[in-house]
A and B are shown apart, each in its own frame.
Chain A
Amino acid sequence: MEYSGNSREINLTLVPQAGAGDWVLVHAGLALQIIEEATALETLALLEELDADIG
């Protein structure tokens, strides 16, 4: 597991579905969730859902 350019041992017990190349959110050495990189568009879509006249 690489972390900001350094390799570190990360415990994957709680995200067994994580595979090589996945990004994970790590807290104190323990992976808590797989990061699904939302695009800027997806994020803005959330706001559009709430508000029609954005942008």
Chain B
Amino acid sequence: MQTSAELLQAQRLLELIRKRVSGPLVIMEVCGTHTTAVSRYGLRPLLEPLRLLSGPGCPVCVTSPGDLERMIALAGSDAVVATFGDLLRLPGSGGSLEQAQADGAEVRVVYSPLDAVRLAADKRDRPVVFLGVGFETTAPGLALAVKQAAKEGLDNFYLYSCLKTIVPALNALLAGNSPELDGMLLPGHVSCVIGRQAQDFVASVHGVPAAVAGFTESDILLGLAAVILMIEKEEPGVVNAYPRVVREEGNVLAQSLLSEVFGTADAEWRGLGSIPGSGLTLRPEFARHDAALHFNLPEPQTAQEATEPCRCGDVLRGAILPPECALFAGRCTPLSPFGPCMVSSEGACAAYYRYERKKGAIPA
């Protein structure tokens, strides 16, 4: 709930922004939680002619169709599959985890990855596979879980890692330079782990002003105001507008935990394709917990996305807004989703459907 002081601050920031923005500026909110918050606070119409585009920062949404297929294959094996709830309804070419569950697969939703380790301790005669989907915010918890399983000698605990890192993705997005961006709002919780300074390249290499922002209305407006002032002064930088939890160097303990347990590999992103060095895979010391090495999984299918009517890939690149997809709110709704962006609580299509459809800003 917002206090009246916060509301007052949000109002002041909104006025500042509206006073400064006269022409069309395009700012990408990289993080899916920002997309959802911006829609929930109803900020988009208030900020016009400033345009806010969604980015690739929704971990469930950027999971590649091939990875989803392999996760469903894991659920169809003799393993117990443990996952966060967001993945369940994700539609793939071979159905969803929820359908696999209805067909008899044992799929358990857990609150923390350590719950999956406990499950493995209780079920020593069954393999337990945790489906690891997430960015740097989620990866430390999985690193701890793997270390715990190794310590307890739980050979039946496996991680299927679809973990991704945001810095190579931002680099790829900005180097591709489509769409043309005037500024960026950087993810607050990822930054809490990697730190502000790790993202300096957004301004120093690509010349795009950016701010690390939090998730309340004033947090988001503060981040936007900082970006707009940098655009105006033509002095691109990367500002920390979320100092409550983001430090210059991030959480160093979490970073060393990540490099102790994971190495990097190329990873396939829905919408962005393969990005060098953007995936986290288990180091050889933890190979016996690596599901990718122990299960017979289907080979990645390429070029699958191009034939899909769902345009999540374009949404995740900031190429279109959800209502520009022909299926949005017609054939594709949260009850019968066509793509991950309509399923995930951080998905842009779900956010637009929930908060922006009825307000007349967008034709349904």
Q: Using a CB–CB distance below 8 Å, which chain A residues touch chain B?
A: 11, 13-16, 25, 27-30, 32-38, 40, 42-44, 46-47, 50-51, 54-55
Contacts and interface: CB of A to CB of B under 8 A. Distances in A.
Contacts of B84: 28
The 7 closest A-B pairs by CB, nearest first: A29-B112, A30-B141, A50-B229, A33-B245, A33-B192, A14-B253, A14-B254
Given A28-B141, A50-B239, A33 B251 contact: yes
Interface string B238-249: 010101111100
A38 to B, nearest CB: 5
Interface residues of B, number: 38
A15 B253 CA distance: 8
A13 B151 CA distance: 15
B193 A38 contact: no
28 contacts: A11-B141, A14-B140, A14-B253, A15-B251, A15-B253, A25-B189, A25-B192, A28-B113, A28-B141, A29-B141, A30-B141, A30-B144, A32-B192, A33-B192, A33-B247, A34-B245, A35-B244, A36-B245, A38-B243, A40-B5, A43-B243, A46-B241, A46-B243, A47-B16, A47-B226, A50-B230, A50-B233, A51-B229
B244 A37 contact: yes
A35 B251 contact: no
Contacts of B140: 14, 30, 32
A46 B224 CA distance: 13
B194 to A, nearest CB: 11
In terms of DSSP, what is the predominant structure of the interface of chain B?
Answer: helix
A29 B111 contact: yes
B222 to A, nearest CB: 6
Given A13-B144, A30-B141, A50-B229, A36 B243 contact: yes
Interface of B: 5-6, 9, 12-13, 16, 84, 111-115, 137-138, 140-141, 144, 189, 192-193, 218, 222, 225-226, 229-230, 233, 239, 241, 243-247, 251, 253-254, 257
A25 B219 CA distance: 15
Given A13-B144, A28-B84, A28-B111, A36 B244 contact: yes
A27 B141 CA distance: 8
B226 A46 contact: yes
A28 B192 contact: no
Contacts of A15: 251, 253
Given A11-B144, A40-B5, A50-B239, 16 more contacts: A14-B254, A28-B84, A28-B112, A28-B113, A28-B141, A29-B141, A33-B246, A36-B243, A38-B244, A40-B6, A46-B241, A47-B222, A47-B226, A50-B229, A54-B16, A55-B12
